[in-house]
Every structure is written in structure tokens, then in C-alpha cells.
Structure 1
Amino acid sequence: MARGSSAGAVVAGLTAAALAVIGFFTYQASAAQDRAKAGSSDERGGTGGSEGPREREKRERETNLPAFSGVGERVVYDLDRDRVWLMGRDQEVKRTFRVAPSSVDPQPGTYKVESRAPHVTGSDGVPVENVVRFATNQGTTIGFSSALDGSLPEAEPGGQTGGIRERRADGEAMWLFATIGTKVVVVR
């Protein structure tokens, strides 16, 4: 009987070790997916880890969350870097990406998402989707959107547009994240 108990203990130990290995690989796969969600293709650039220290430092400087941009779940928009961060409640960067600015900038400050529209024609005449509006300045409504054709606008001299244009994948992420009432922090 003692011999059978010891064989059972060995099998139980091996089973526990196998489950631990499977759990570890599952955790690694999940972490890799979370890292992939944190940035769009323009941040990753397909470098595959081959970037040098200077390139990595430059990318980190560009993508680091601005100081004094608040806490909690929010959208952070840096006017100087033309970059957005989607921040989770736990200060985790859910996604960061570059945008094409509107010709009328919002003033630095804290706002809330006021309205949304799945499809409209932008103030520049381009059909857009995933419109998330949060501010008004100089009589112009300001919000994030992405063009159906994937274009990013060129600034028109003298034009007053409020559309902060995103790539389509980034616009989809914004749409899913920034519901009515979501905080938007604009910094310089």
C-alpha cells in the first residue's frame, strides 16, 4: 500500500507541475496581447526589438504619458505632441497613438465626452466615423474622429475645423473607450 501511495504522490506532483507550466505560458500569452493593445502599429513600427538605444529612448520620450495629466480612467490629449493616451482606472495605458490635429485646438483643461456619432460628415466635408466630441472653442465643436477613407487632413489656411483625426483602428479604440461622460484631459 505504501508503494501505491508514493506512486500516486508522484503522479499528483507531475500533474501539478504540468498545470503550473501551462498557467505560466497562458500568462505570457496574455501579457503579450496586452502589450500589443497598448500601441498601434505606428508605435511598434515593426522593429521587432532591433531598434537601438537612441531610437528606443526617442520613442519612449514621445510616448511617455505627460506629467500632471490626471488620474483614473480618462483620455489624455497632448497638443504639443499630437498624441492621445487611453488610460485605465489603474493608471494603465490601454493605448497610445498619434493624431492629426484640428485647426482649432481645445484649451488645455479637463472636459467630458459630450456627444458621439457613429457616422457624420466632418467639418472639412469628409465622411467620418466614431466621432467623440468633448469641447467647443471659438464657436467650433472639437472631437476625435476617423475618415472612412483613412485619410488624415491637411490644415487649411483660414479654415476652422474641430476634427482631431485618427487612423481607423485608433478611432475604433477611442469609440469603444470614450463613452458619454468619459473624462478628457488636454495638456500642452
Structure 2
Amino acid sequence: MPVPARRLPSWAWVSGLTVGAIAAVVVLTVQAEQGPRPAATATATRPSPSASASAAPTPSKPAPAAVPDGSGTGRRIVYSLGERRVWLVDASDSPRRTFTVWPGTVDPDPGTYTVGTRTDATTGSDGVEIEHVVYFAAKSGVNIAFSAAVDGSSPPPAAAGTQTGGIRMKSADGSALWTFGTAGTKVTVVK
């Protein structure tokens, strides 16, 4: 004798669909956070009184920061202490990427260094989980390295008297520097 099929109650279907939709939104959100982010510019253009109604304003895009003079030639990472900015420069002296950073409390002296040790992930001296750690200098017993917080946050303010050598950056920038800054890559520090 055949057994009649049991039907799922409608609340079970609605709950299942809701959970699936929420999971899809979470996955898309995570993917969006890992992708490139557009930079907002605060430029506003006003049409002149003689402008036609069909003329659309052309927003001006700020030029990327130029690689500092005196930073050497060839493939290198350039770090400007004053601008708090890093450039990844290819062998033809063209900047491939530039971004701002959050320096630690101990700055490397201006000069030329090379990437030495690299660590995929560890805990920073401030207790924050960091990744893509690229060491290139030491000063006053403090190792100086580029890194990114795993959670993407900026570093907390250092406690008074604490010496930190981590130069933190956003996660996407950390990934780019990790790929570019292999062992032996030249690092030029400028004022």
C-alpha cells in the first residue's frame, strides 16, 4: 500500500528561501568588500549661465600622485614618510599602484633597502591580526615592515612610549604589495 507524500508547511518553504537569500547577500557583500573601491572626489562643476541644457558637466579626476623625485630607478617600492604614501613602480619607472598608509611610531631612515623576510600572517605588536607582512628595515631594535590588518581596520593609536614599526595599509593594497614585493625587491624611503 503506497504511503501518501507529506507536504512541507509553507513556513518551512518561506524560512528556507529567506535563509538562502540572506546567504546570497552575505556572499555578495564579502565579494564587494574585497573588490576595488571607487574613490569619491569632492569636485563640483557648475554650468555657466550660457551652457546649454544638454551639456553634461565633465568631472575632473585628480591626477595620481607622482613618484617622488630622487627615489631611484627601476622596479622598486617607494615609501614617502611625509606623504604617508607608497608607490609600486615597475622596471620602466611607471607607477603601477599608489596608496596611502598608516605608519608606525618608528620610521625608517631615508635610503635604499631590500625586502628580506616575508610572513603570510601573524599578530602585530598592537595585538591586531595582520597579513602580508613584508620586512625591509630595522631601527633602534624595531623591525619595520609593510602589512595589512586581517579585518581591514586602521591601526589603533599606539600607547605612549610604544615603539611600532608596522606600516599598515588597506587589505587590497596589502595584497598588491605582497605580490609585488618579493624577497630582494628594492625599497626606497624618501622624506
Task: Give the TM-score taking structure 1 as reference length.
Answer: 0.70
CA shift, 1:144, in A, is 0.3
1:26-175 paired onto structure 2 within 5 Å: 41=37, 44-45=39-40, 50-51=59-60, 56=62, 60=64, 63-156=65-158, 157-175=160-178
Q: How many residues are treated as equivalent by the alignment?
A: 141
Cα distance change on mapping 1:94 and 1:47 into 2, 3 Å: farther
CA shift, 1:154, in A, is 3.3
Report the counterpart of residue 184 of structure 1 in structure 2: 187
* Larger relative helix fraction: 1
Q: Which has the larger radius of gyration?
A: 2
SS at match of 1:130: strand
Provide the C-alpha distance between the structure 2 equivalents of 1:155 and 1:66, rounded to a whole number of angstroms: 28
CA shift, 1:51, in A, is 3.4
CA displacement, residues 73-116 of structure 1 (integer Å, 9 cap, x when unaligned): 00000000000000000011110000001110000000000110
Percent identity among equivalent residues?
Answer: 47
Provide the C-alpha distance between the structure 2 equivalents of 1:51 and 1:137, rounded to a whole number of angstroms: 42
Provide the C-alpha distance between the structure 1 equivalents of 2:118 and 2:40, rounded to a whole number of angstroms: 30
Runs of 4+ in 1 over 4 A off after TM superposition: 46-49
Provide the C-alpha distance between the structure 2 equivalents of 1:113 and 1:125, rounded to a whole number of angstroms: 24
Partner amino acid, structure 1, of 2:183 = I
Report the counterpart of residue 12 of structure 1 in structure 2: none
SS at match of 1:68: coil
Structure 1 gap segments, 5+ residues each: 1-39
CA shift, 1:155, in A, is 3.1
Partner amino acid, structure 2, of 1:82 = R
Provide the C-alpha distance between the structure 1 equivalents of 2:169 and 2:69, rounded to a whole number of angstroms: 23
CA displacement, residues 29-80 of structure 1 (integer Å, 9 cap, x when unaligned): xxxxxxxxxxx747x436796237xxx3xx55xx111110000000000000
Structure 2 gap segments, 5+ residues each: 1-35, 44-57
Task: Give the TM-score taking structure 2 as reference length.
Answer: 0.69
